[in-house]
């Protein structure tokens, strides 16, 4: 949600800020703005509703603004509609302070009323404007004093970038519950919501922690904690290539990321299996701990939650321990039953989703041990969990996740196998067979992708359906949830995913002649049961697109109108292959409908507000 960037150095800041914003646009894209300070030009602020390209045009790609210090913002509106005036930077009434913000100032109404009672006039509906106006209110010539007093009054989540016209030789960065990093260069420093914005300029970054304030000058960065004590921040080296965050010839990031899945899954799995056994870095769970574990609590949002739904079936089968999957946004407020023997498994691509982070903190507070599955190295969840298993998907830019989902699933399988081998709940042979099947997954994913034209063809037949149902049982149901989410988020077609046996308890009333039903039937033990449900919807006139394994395709084709077949793998791993045609289906349907695939309406990647 919202991307912020800042630069201070010797070069013109605006083109660098715009370049940084172009890499953060996936975090929010309803408006954008920059503020730059230049000798003789003062504080120049340009901001506009719409995509970043509007701002690029207004500023001639930044060439119209002069100065070597500035901040920029790309917005996902929370308070106040997308509009020029609500765009960031928000500027104080005296024009001295420019502020960019990611997060929510929860007590902004109270602060606004206080300032209004002192005669301050507000121009926007944003919560952020109170920060700029408070800075002005407290400013008596000392920038850090004004920042300190302002922060004392703020409640909520915020990452802030602050530029003051009286102190153009410094930028202030503040972090509280919203991600913020500092990029360290030779003769310049940067701040940003994530490393993608700075990596073209520097690979040396520091991750700010909650309550920290960074003072960036051209020559260095000083970091203080909330008590104004100096903090020695470690500097981490980012080792991925910038090309990983570029389209590389594909029309959309989503297409590129779908196609990258074999290699991402290979990278995630291959180094972690040795001689049929799983070796997970940084993870020690003794047989005694696992024996005494009373419950595995999976906590996540969105697609990561859908991985959790697959995980429940897989882990319960492998470990014979109860697994509860819960939406992070619900976990915090449901008085969860957690003991010191509960293992909380937190799943998050970004490692910054605020609901997941807050739920993780709550699980820890209640005594659970926390293991996180995360893609972004150095993210808050990765740093705060007791243990972290990284998915090696590389940067995921498309808002709709694909390769992160697939690598999360791969880590779940590795984790399940590792625990099962430690607990002895699988035999040597069963364990070895699962390990072998895991190592073969990337090759099978390649086979699925080679058949993508089949899916494109079906998408061309179905893209005008007003409503699409996904049905499945057991693992197929869990995959259907993800297929349905992918479709609705990027194609805007209404869709529902149902446990196939549940349909007749209400929702079947929505099936009418011509309704499209995607029936997932790869979980072979329940193939016949699922086919009965297919017959039920066919009897009511539904058009059925079946998804099953190659060996069952002919049988399914006797009832379904069309069938997409995927290779067969170990039954527990089948979701890894099944999800790919569903991702492709959503992609091609959205393409046919002319949707903005990488930046779907109303959405943003990395959801850092509650």
Measured CA to CA, the distance from residue 97 to residue 111 in angstroms comes to 17
As given in the structure block, the two tokens for residue 510 are 């929505």
Beta carbon nearer to ligand F6R, 162 or 590? 590
Beta carbon nearer to ligand F6R, 353 or 548? 353
Alpha carbon distance, N-terminus to C-terminus of the chain: 11
Please list every residue from 213 through 242 that binds ligand F6R, using CB under 6 A.
none
The helix or strand, by DSSP H or E, that contains position 414, with its residue range, turns out to be helix 403-423
CA 319 to chain centre: 29
Please list every residue from 276 through 315 that binds ligand F6R, using CB under 6 A.
301-304
Catalytic residue among 2, 164, 301, 595: 2
The distance of closest approach from Cβ of residue 605 to ligand F6R in the complex, given in angstroms and rounded to an integer, is 7
Measured CA to CA, the distance from residue 224 to residue 222 in angstroms comes to 7
As given in the structure block, the two tokens for residue 443 are 């090759």
The distance of closest approach from Cβ of residue 349 to ligand F6R in the complex, given in angstroms and rounded to an integer, is 4
In order, the DSSP letters of 484-528 are HHHHHHHH--EEEEEEGGGGGGTGGGG--TT-EEEEE---GGGHH
Contacts of 424 (CB under 8 A, 6+ apart): 287
Spell out, one character per residue from 400 to 429, where the chain touches ligand F6R: x when CB under 6 A holds, - when not: xx----------------------------
Beta carbon nearer to ligand F6R, 191 or 382? 382
Considering only residues 13, 382, 607, 609, which one is a binding residue for ligand F6R as defined by CB under 6 A?
607
Considering only residues 90, 348, 407, 515, which one is a binding residue for ligand F6R as defined by CB under 6 A?
348
Rule CB under 6 A: say whether 9 interacts with ligand F6R.
no
Beta carbon nearer to ligand F6R, 31 or 350? 350
Give the residue nearest to ligand F6R (CB). 302
Beta carbon nearer to ligand F6R, 213 or 301? 301
The distance of closest approach from Cβ of residue 485 to ligand F6R in the complex, given in angstroms and rounded to an integer, is 6
Contact (Cβ atoms closer than 8 angstroms) between residue 69 and residue 47: no
Please list every residue from 481 through 520 that binds ligand F6R, using CB under 6 A.
485, 489
Cis ω for the linkage preceding 70 (within 30 of 0): no
The distance of closest approach from Cβ of residue 219 to ligand F6R in the complex, given in angstroms and rounded to an integer, is 35
In order, the DSSP letters of 303-357 are HHHHHHHHHHHHHHHHH-S-EEEEEHHHHTTS-----TTEEEEEEESSS--HHHH
CA 89 to chain centre: 24
Contact region with ligand F6R (CB under 6 A), list: 37-45, 155-163, 346-354, 517-525: 346-354
Measured CA to CA, the distance from residue 488 to residue 466 in angstroms comes to 11
Beta carbon nearer to ligand F6R, 196 or 348? 348
Rule CB under 6 A: say whether 353 interacts with ligand F6R.
yes
Q: Is 605 a catalytic residue?
A: yes
Rule CB under 6 A: say whether 373 interacts with ligand F6R.
no
Contact region with ligand F6R (CB under 6 A), list: 274-282, 343-351, 465-473, 499-507: 343-351
Candidates 295, 335, 300; CA nearest to 316 is 295
CA angle 510, 597, 376 (to 5 degrees): 110
Q: Which residues bind ligand F6R (CB under 6 A)?
A: 301-304, 348-350, 353, 356, 400-401, 485, 489, 606-607
The catalytic site residues sit at: 2, 605
């Amino acid at each position: 949600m919202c991307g912020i960037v800042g630069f201070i150095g010797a070069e013109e800041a605006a083109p660098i800020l715009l370049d940084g914003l172009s890499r953060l646009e996936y975090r929010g894209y309803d408006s954008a703005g920059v503020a730059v300070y230049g000798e003789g030009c003062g504080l120049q602020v340009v901001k506009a509703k719409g995509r970043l390209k509007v701002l690029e045009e207004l500023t001639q790609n930044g060439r119209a603004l002069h100065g070597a210090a500035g901040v920029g913002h790309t917005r996902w509106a929370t308070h106040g509609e997308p509009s020029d005036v609500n765009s960031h930077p928000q500027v104080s009434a005296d024009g001295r302070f420019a502020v960019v913000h990611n997060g929510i100032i929860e007590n902004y109404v109270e602060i606004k009323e206080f300032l209004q009672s002192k005669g301050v006039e507000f121009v926007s509906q944003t919560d952020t404007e109170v920060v700029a106006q408070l800075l002005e209110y407290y400013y008596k010539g000392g920038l850090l004093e004004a920042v300190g007093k302002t922060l004392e009054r703020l409640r909520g989540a915020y990452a802030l970038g602050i530029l003051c016209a009286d102190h153009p030789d410094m930028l202030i960065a503040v972090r509280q519950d919203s991600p913020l990093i500092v990029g360290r260069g030779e003769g310049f420093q940067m701040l940003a919501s994530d490393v993608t914005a700075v990596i073209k300029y520097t690979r040396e970054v520091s991750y700010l922690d909650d309550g920290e304030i960074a003072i960036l000058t051209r020559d260095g960065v000083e970091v203080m904690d909330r008590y104004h004590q100096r903090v020695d921040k470690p500097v981490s080296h980012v080792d991925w290539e910038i090309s990983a965050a570029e389209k590389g010839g594909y029309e959309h990031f989503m297409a590129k990321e779908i196609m990258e899945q074999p290699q991402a899954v290979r990278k995630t799995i291959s180094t972690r299996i040795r001689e049929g056994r799983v070796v997970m870095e940084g993870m020690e769970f003794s047989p005694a701990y696992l024996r005494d574990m009373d419950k595995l609590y999976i906590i996540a949002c969105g697609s990561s939650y859908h991985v959790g739904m697959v995980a429940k079936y897989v882990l319960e089968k492998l470990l014979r321990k109860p697994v509860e999957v819960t939406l992070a946004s619900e976990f915090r407020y449901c008085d969860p039953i957690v003991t010191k023997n509960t293992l909380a498994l937190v799943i998050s691509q970004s490692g910054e989703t605020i609901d997941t982070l807050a739920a993780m903190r709550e699980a820890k507070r209640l005594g659970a041990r926390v293991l996180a599955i995360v893609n972004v190295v150095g993210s808050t969840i990765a740093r705060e969990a007791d243990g972290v298993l990284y998915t090696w998907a590389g940067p995921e830019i498309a808002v709709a996740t694909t390769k992160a989902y697939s690598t999360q699933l791969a880590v779940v399988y590795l984790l399940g196998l590792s625990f099962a081998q430690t607990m002895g709940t699988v035999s040597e042979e069963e364990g070895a067979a699962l390990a072998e099947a895991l190592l073969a997954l990337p090759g099978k994913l390649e086979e699925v992708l080679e058949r993508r034209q089949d899916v494109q063809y079906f998408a061309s037949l179905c893209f005008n359906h007003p409503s699409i149902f996904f049905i499945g049982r057991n693992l197929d149901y869990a995959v259907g949830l993800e297929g349905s989410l992918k479709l609705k988020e990027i194609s805007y077609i209404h869709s529902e995913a149902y446990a196939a046996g549940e349909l007749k308890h209400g929702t079947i009333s929505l099936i009418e002649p011509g309704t499209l039903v995607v029936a997932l039937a790869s979980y072979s033990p329940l193939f016949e049961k699922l086919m009965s449900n297919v017959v039920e919807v066919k009897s009511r006139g539904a058009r059925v697109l079946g998804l099953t394994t190659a060996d069952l395709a002919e049988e399914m084709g006797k009832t379904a109108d069309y069938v997409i077949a995927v290779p067969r793998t170990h039954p527990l791993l089948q979701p890894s292959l099944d999800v790919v045609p569903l991702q492709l289906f959503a992609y091609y349907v959205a393409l046919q409908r002319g949707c903005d695939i990488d930046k779907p309406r109303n959405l943003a990647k990395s959801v850092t507000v509650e």
